């Protein structure tokens, strides 16, 4: 990915991580840029009122397609292979994934149960790629990639209603 483009994504990710941390965490220790990029965590700390320390990898709102005018709040984009072919964030070292939402500020889901759930869905489908065109509605649990853009990533769209069946926390700040 072009360096300037990565820098803008990194800065936006940092802004969102700071928003989450300032509202919800205590005793924050920030990841280095390499830890963020390769270990897939933004910060560690404890949720306000809890003494246990955890690693968090904050995720922002996503559009179904880059050209869509608005962000959507139906499905979470879960990356299991990153753009260089390495492990995606769902296989990273974070404990919790705070996902920005529209209907309430944050859904915080445990990373490992999310990956276990997703992996079982992928195996049920034999890791089948989507057969839909980019402009058609997204197919839950189908494998998507961005090979067209020169990336080696793999990701799926997971309905929030399914994620909310896993261990999670809804935060109002």
Does 1 score more than 80 pLDDT?
Answer: no
Query: Average pLDDT of 143-170?
Result: 95
> Residue 6: what pLDDT?
61
Residue 95 C-alpha from the chain's centroid: 12
Q: What is the mean pLDDT of the chain?
A: 94
- Residues contacting 32, CB < 8 A, separation 6+: none
pTM as predicted: 0.93
Averaged pLDDT, 139-158: 95
**With 90 as the cut, is the pLDDT of residue 102 above it?**
yes
DSSP category for residue 35: I
CB 55 within 8 A of CB 95: yes
Quick one: pLDDT band at residue 2, thresholds 50, 70, 90? low
Structural domain boundaries, residue 25: 3-171
Pairing label, strands 154-159, 54-56: unpaired
DSSP secondary structure, 64-82, as one string: SSTT-SS-B-SEEEEEEE-
| Token pair in block for residue 1 | 């990915």
Sign of CA dihedral 11, 33, 31, 79: positive
| pLDDT value at 4 more than 70 | no
| Residue from 145, 146, 38 nearest 93 by CA | 38
Mean pLDDT for 48-62 is 97
In terms of DSSP H, where are the helices of the chain?
A: 3-24, 33-34, 111-124, 160-163
SS3 89: helix
Determine the Cα–Cα distance for residues 133 and 153; give it in Å rounded to an integer: 17
Q: What is the domain count for the chain?
A: 1
Confidence check: pLDDT of 155 > 90: yes
Mean pLDDT of 45-69: 96
Of 17, 10, 45, give the one whose Cα is nearest residue 106: 17
Summarize pLDDT for 29-39 with one digit per residue, the tens: 999 999 999 99
Q: What is the DSSP string of 36-58?
A: IIII---EEEEETT----EEE--
């Amino acid at each position: 990915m072009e360096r300037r483009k990565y820098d803008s994504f990194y800065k936006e990710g940092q802004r969102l991580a700071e928003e989450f941390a300032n509202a919800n965490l205590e005793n924050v220790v920030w990841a280095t840029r390499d830890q963020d990029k390769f270990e897939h965590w933004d910060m560690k700390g404890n949720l306000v009122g809890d003494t246990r320390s955890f690693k968090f990898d904050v995720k922002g709102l996503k559009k179904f397609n880059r050209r869509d005018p608005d962000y959507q709040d139906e499905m979470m984009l879960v990356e299991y292979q990153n753009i260089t072919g390495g492990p995606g964030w769902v296989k990273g070292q974070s404990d919790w994934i705070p996902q920005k939402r529209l209907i309430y500020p944050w859904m915080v889901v445990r990373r490992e149960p999310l990956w276990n759930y997703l992996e079982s869905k992928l195996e049920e489908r034999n890791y089948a790629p989507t057969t839909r065109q980019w402009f058609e509605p997204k197919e839950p649990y189908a494998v998507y990639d961005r090979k067209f853009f020169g990336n080696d990533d793999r990701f799926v769209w997971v309905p929030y209603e399914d994620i909310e069946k896993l261990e999670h926390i809804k935060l109002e700040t």
